[in-house]
Amino acid sequence: MTHSSGVLDVDSIRAQFPILHQQIDGKPLVYLDNAATTQKPQAVIQALTDFYTQCNANVHRGAHHLSDEATRRYERARDCVAGFIHAGNRKEVVWTSGTTESINIVANGMAQRLQSGDEVLVTQMEHHANLVTWQQACLRSGATLKVAPILDNGALDTDAFTELLNEKTKFVALPHVSNALGTINPVKALSAQAKSVGALVLIDGAQGVAHGNVNVCDIGCDFYAFSGHKLFGPTGIGVLWGKEEVLQNWPVWQTGGEMIAKVTYECSTWGELPNRLEAGTPNIAGAIGLAAAIDWFTGLDCDAIQAHEKALMASALEQADAFDGLKVIGNAPNKIGVLSFILQGTHPADVGFILDRQGIAIRTGDHCAQPLMRRLDVPGTARASFSVYNTLAEVDALFVALKKAQSMLG
């Protein structure tokens, strides 16, 4: 990613996103649901079109030009991802359908290794994909699930996290960034603590990857999972990164074509990384589209992106603080991209409906984090989440619309 101290040209960026140039009920679209999925630049749309119109074929297996070209683009996408997250080896990049499948691959393998008396540690801010999955792995294996609590401001209680680590802890799973609160976890320090007791570590990077500067080797985790659609890429494509020495003997997730070495009627053996964890015809177009998204994103000014996102967040928090009757949920000192809130005397779903009629797209509900909502003693929140193409004017429009919602809902 380009580093400099320039100012982000948001108008130029917005011009590359066709979907943003439309109206909802006669109002300009203000898209503030980026934690759920990001919109796609023309470069990604074109990459998908080019694949399907120029070289649509299955990869690795064909003895013809289209297959060769599809394979070249597909494997070039793996190299692109490896470089983007600073993987030690391209073989450590495994294609999946998204963060959820990536976590399930790891949990399926751990369920075969865990036993009664072992412990798995997660946090109180987990998305269901990184909670229910480990819950099930513990049920299958007889291991015990432990939960590190959060503080009232939405930050992880790192002291409690440390106290929960012990020689029984075999696995630690935690989010890079909370999807519901925007809290950034100190994943490098937490990974080091987990490794000190011999535990394997998985980072749910679904919300962290779109903010740049992910370096899996520097973090020191064993696994890092993310989805393409939260990084300006297509849906249905994701990545499981794992250390080669950990992944190379990991229990296979699915069996079928491509992942085998030798098959007889009596037995089968598995291929080498990454193929052994990639059974069947992959999402070729999705991988190519994700590479196009990464190329686009890394072509932007990293420092300018971060400064712009901080400015959006600062404006949102300042206006929220001055808004009578609005309560921000999650005030961790280190947070990014997400403003979760409740309007006193209203239900989040009603707020979301009224905002939609004004062209403003936000998310409402429990954000696939029901235990977290119970911990915070709220039924759910309204969540505005920001990306590189959002503007300060759109933040202003959000609060104008909230004033109208407040007056309408009484």
Which tens digit of pLDDT belongs to each residue from 226-276?
Answer: 999 999 999 999 999 999 999 999 999 999 998 999 999 999 999 999 999
251: its two tokens: 């229990």
Q: Which domains does the chain have, with CATH numbers?
A: 10-31+301-409 (3.90.1150.10), 46-298 (3.40.640.10)
pLDDT of res. 127: 97
Cα 141–143–149 angle (5° rounding)?
140
Whole-number Å distance between alpha carbons of 78 and 11: 31
pLDDT of res. 6: 75
Whole-number Å distance between alpha carbons of 289 and 294: 9
- Count of residues making up the chain: 410
- CA quadruple 52, 55, 57, 59: dihedral sign: negative
Whole-number Å distance between alpha carbons of 266 and 283: 30
pLDDT in tens, 293-316: 999 999 999 999 999 999 999 999
Whole-number Å distance between alpha carbons of 58 and 296: 25
What is the identity of the amino acid at 340? S
pLDDT of res. 410: 79
pLDDT of res. 48: 98
Q: What are phi and psi of 54, to 5 degrees?
A: -115, -35
The pTM (predicted TM-score) of the whole model is: 0.97
Show which residues are catalytic. 368
Q: Which of 387, 368, 29 is nearest to 209 (CA)?
A: 387
Regions of the chain where pLDDT drops below 70: 1-5
Question: Helix, strand, or coil here: 159?
Answer: helix
pLDDT of res. 54: 98
